[in-house]
Structure 1
């Protein structure tokens, strides 16, 4: 199964400040803030939703095609992804901008001050899927994950026009979309991914009820953290797949991306949606137990073999 994953490619710079931001804020002077925080720790992690999903698919033995934009500083990251089994030949390299970057400082109260630099990601709107299709000999599924909003709309339109099945995963970019864009990103999707909050936000932005959203898609997969996953269909069926428990929680960042990778890998094996979701939950737990979105290490055959849990029909 040839899966192309479109979306963001980024580097995360995460710092820890041992004090409290609030202690440095002076009442009555917040209109002229000039502060500098001395951080005790810095972690540089590979990230970006599309890259995270592609890494997970590669870890499970697939050869996903990553479609996105990065900067000239992408060489080391490219080598990392290729080693994990990801096809990066369709990544656009910007001549002017760095790879997207997330810079975040967290204080002792878990408050955060962060800046996201879109960088090369803003050039993703210039990427077309047709050359990718020609290069790899066809696509069975395109994942449209968070990216430059214009790129997301373009890739969705291309899939509909070409008859290529696609999965809509608007995620955090929902807040950037207007009603028409939200509807265009969802309409015709074979699979729609959201978490619970995003599900409510999507309905608010699109002006559609849950039933109307389901009339636009094949299946709506909603992740609910420790409460597992709900798979809903337009025929009124709802199936709940429980999360895979763990006794160690290290970092929740990228857990949703790992779920998507596991779910899509299950589909590539011809599995049912519930069994695919079970594999997604298993990989999500591996990501949850590890600091960093692409730092987990798995034995793919073993994880696949023990992911045959029993789903619960709820409607």
Structure 2
């Protein structure tokens, strides 16, 4: 069954600030901030949440279907994604706008300040998911990742109409959503993805308690950076999973997307959530060790070693039965 990944496709402009953002903030001046950071470098990379997740899934051999809106400058990026196992047939090309841009500066504590220009992504709501799902040879799950809000709403509604399981990943778009929109995007999701901060923001924006949110989703998965991942379900005890350690941290951009790729690959193979999360964490650490969200590579031996070292041989062996990649 195919995975359909909807959401942003963008070019990332990534800069590094050698100091700490927090050191530049004056508490009694926060109401009128005017700051400029002199950065040490600038990397221009391929990105966008949906494209990053699809890239990770492609590395794992799943041939995901990517759905999003881009500009006429997408040709080279399309070739890159196809070379890495991503189906780009349903990527819409705008005749008016260029592909979206993500501009992000990271400080020495791995904190980030970013801006996002939508560009062609603003037209993503014109994509009819009905035609996409009907043409993928059987869709196992649709991921509704950050996108133009109108597109996220339309695609969530279409999943409900078509009876297709979906996962909700509103993350970066939460500040742009109304209470009713947040509730619509979450309700009925098989998986709900957030990071720690987004989890609190989602609860505040939705007006629902944590338990009320859990009663409306299959499971709520929260990434917590170096503190790992938590899994919560209605009526169940919260489970915690440690992060896979790394001695070579390079760039946090796209780490959460790599986690989602590993997790979704695992669950699409029929692995239990408790095994899919470790695979996601191993993928996240691989992404953390490179600059740019689509510069990392994976090999079975490396992933399985990382999983075994952190979660034990039994978890590794479950994943090894499914992981069939060229060494």
Separation in structure 2 between the aligned mates of residue 107 and residue 196 of structure 1, nearest angstrom: 19
Residue 108 of structure 1, CA deviation: 9.3
Structure-to-structure mapping, 1:273-312, within 5 angstroms: 273-300=273-300, 302-304=302-304, 307=307, 309=311
Alignment-derived partner of residue 88 in structure 1 = 88
TM-score (norm 2): 0.85
- Report if aligned partners of 1:59, 1:300 keep a CA contact under 8 Å in 2: no
- Hey, what does 2:65 align to over in structure 1? 65
Alignment length, in residue pairs?
A: 305
Alignment check: 8 A CA contact 1:7 1:147 kept: yes
Task: Look up the SS of the partner of 1:298 in the other structure.
Answer: coil
Cα deviations by residue, 1:23-75 (Å, 9 ceiling, x for unpaired): 9xxxxxxx9x9x99987643210010000000000011111000000001000
Inter-CA distance 38–67: structure 2 relative to 1 (3 Å threshold): same
Q: Which residue number corresponds to residue 260 of structure 1?
A: 260
Q: Could you tell me which residue of structure 2 aligns to residue 233 of structure 1? A: 233
Residue 156 of structure 1 and its aligned partner are, at CA, apart by 0.6
CA distance in 1, matches of 2:41, 2:81: 26
| Map 1:33-182 → 2, pairs under 5 A | 41-104=41-104, 115-182=115-182
Residue 214 of structure 2: aligned partner:
214
Alignment CA distance shift 1:113-1:224 (3 Å): closer
Query: How far 1:226 moved relative to its partner?
Result: 1.3
Cross-structure match for 2:190: 190
Change in 2 beyond 3 A, CA 1:249/1:306: closer
Contact kept? 2:244, 2:306, Cα under 8 Å: no
Q: What secondary structure does 1:140 align onto?
A: strand
Aligned-pair CA distance for 1:161: 1.2
Distance change in 2, residues 1:36/1:118 (3 Å)? same
Q: How much does 1:198 deviate?
A: 0.7
- Match of 1:27? none
CA distance in structure 2 between the aligned counterparts of 1:147 and 1:129, rounded to whole angstroms: 14
C-alpha deviation, 1:18, in angstroms: 8.3
Q: Report SS of the residue matched to 1:307.
A: helix
Kindly report the root-mean-square deviation, in angstroms, between the aligned alpha carbons of the 2 structures: 2.9
2:271 maps to 271
1:107/1:169 Cα in 2 relative to 1: closer, same or farther (>3 Å)? closer
Contact 1:275 1:307 survives alignment (8 Å): no
The answer to whether the Cα contact below 8 Å between 1:168 and 1:185 also exists between their aligned partners in 2 is: yes
For structure 2, the 5+ residue unaligned runs are 25-31, 315-327
The answer (yes or no) to whether the contact 1:203–1:209 under 8 Å persists in 2 is: yes
Separation of aligned partners in 2, 1:277 and 1:212: 23
SS at match of 2:139: coil
Evaluate the alpha carbon distance shift between residue 179 and residue 107 of structure 1 in structure 2; reply closer, same or farther with a 3 A threshold.
closer
The whole-number CA distance in structure 1 between the counterparts of 2:18 and 2:231 is: 42
**Which segment drifts farther, 244-253 or 103-112?**
103-112
Does the CA-based 8 Å contact 1:17-1:40 persist in structure 2? yes
Question: How big is the shift at 1:105?
Answer: 5.9
* CA apart distance, 1:15: 4.4
| Cross-structure match for 1:245 | 245
Structure 2: distance between partners of 1:208 and 1:70: 35
Of 288-297 and 35-44, more deviation after overlay is shown by 35-44
CA contact (8 A) 1:61 1:300 kept: no
For residues 37 and 97 of structure 2, the distance between their equivalents in structure 1, rounded to whole angstroms, comes to 27
